[in-house]
Chain A
Amino acid sequence: DTGVSQNPRHKITKRGQNVTFRCDPISEHNRLYWYRQTLGQGPEFLTYFQNEAQLEKSRLLSDRFSAERPKGSFSTLEIQRTEQGDSAMYLCASRAFSSNTGELFFGEGSRLTVL
């Protein structure tokens, strides 16, 4: 296991379509995070899980966004009825709850373009 894996790496879709991204965290990490990054901005927090429990969601996460981590391992982020404003890089990160460095290990992201 070499790190956090995300797929697809790129997704181009038409407005109104649904898209789903998958994140496979580092295997021993029980905390998993989703962030969104637009051009020229830092990542923005969306939500995080401890094991299978979703513990916090940002107000940025509209009703069209849903995230799951059903077995406490991989996670999916689904965006329904995509809008052009959803175009961004979606970053997943993970860490062990017991970690005392605070370091999040980020995946390389899934870039979404909504036409």
Chain B
Amino acid sequence: EDKVVQSPLSLVVHEGDTVTLNCSYEVTNFRSLLWYKQEKKAPTFLFMLTSSGIEKKSGRLSSILDKKELSSILNITATQTGDSAIYLCAVGEGFGNEKLTFGTGTRLTIIP
């Protein structure tokens, strides 16, 4: 059975800290790994990673995939209270990522 595991499940840090969120996966037909941010509403897309070792960056967020270790990390530097959310990792299968298998998420809380 396909599995995506995220750690830690929950993280509380002070504003300005740097955090690293982890995602590991076991899927039969890996195509890509995606990160989403979910506040109280719909998940919003952050990154899609398909190649090992190539960092994707957007502002204070960055992510990298390690296909040998079947894992990915999401880094957030200089955290702000607006970064408080659940961060979801998902693995896409099939030609167009038709089916995403999600992890349970990491709940990140930033204390002012």
Residues of A within 8 A of B (CB): 4, 31, 33, 35, 40-45, 48, 55-56, 58, 91, 95, 97, 99, 101-109
How many residue pairs bridge A and B at CB < 8 Å? 57
Cβ-defined contact, A102 with B96, below 8 A: yes
> B28-56 interface mask toward A, CB cutoff 8 Å, 1 = contact, 0 = none?
00001010000001111100100000000
CB-defined A-B contacts under 8 Å, sample of 20: A31-B98, A41-B105, A42-B4, A42-B102, A43-B102, A44-B102, A45-B99, A45-B101, A48-B98, A55-B98, A56-B99, A91-B43, A95-B96, A99-B96, A101-B45, A102-B92, A106-B42, A106-B44, A109-B41, A109-B42
| Size category of the binding interface on chain B | 20 to 34
CA distance A45 to B32 in the complex (A): 16
CA distance A40 to B10 in the complex (A): 11
Closest to A97 in B: B96
Chain B proximity of A59: nearest CB distance (Å): 11
Cβ-defined contact, B48 with A103, below 8 A: yes
Given contacts A97-B96, A102-B48, A108-B42, 11 further A-B contacts (CB under 8 A): A4-B42, A41-B104, A41-B105, A42-B88, A45-B100, A55-B98, A102-B32, A103-B48, A104-B45, A106-B43, A109-B42
